[in-house]
């Protein structure tokens, strides 16, 4: 099945967050703190457990597993383009 043009998450990196816009919904992802024992030098750490629902007014709509996968792929691509490291916890 062919994917519709533009049917992929758009990722915007701001100074303190990642903003994902997709299908008329937005999800703002704030950075997680690295565990004290972590030696990873990531520019941004995403807590996967925090990506459950969309931002208001869609905060009662859960992000499905297949949507989460596409969101993570889009985040990876955005960070790669900028030469930055993202880590998932």
pLDDT of residue 1: 39
| Confidence bin at 38 (pLDDT 50/70/90) | low
pLDDT of residue 57: 97
Phi, psi of 74 (to 5 degrees): -65, -40
Specify the range with the lowest mean pLDDT, choosing from 9-13, 33-37, 42-46, 82-86. Answer: 33-37
Angle (CA) 51 54 58, round 5°: 160
Which structure tokens are listed for 39?
A: 């030696």
Q: What is the mean pLDDT of residues 56-77?
A: 96
């Amino acid at each position: 099945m062919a994917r519709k043009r533009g049917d992929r998450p758009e990722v915007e990196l701001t100074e303190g967050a990642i903003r994902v816009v997709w299908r008329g919904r937005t999800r703002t992802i704030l950075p997680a703190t690295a565990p004290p024992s972590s030696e990873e030098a990531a520019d941004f750490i995403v807590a996967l457990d925090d990506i459950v629902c969309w931002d208001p007014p869609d905060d009662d709509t859960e992000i499905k597993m297949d949507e989460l996968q596409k969101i993570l792929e889009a985040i990876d691509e955005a960070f790669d383009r900028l030469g930055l490291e993202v880590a998932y916890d």
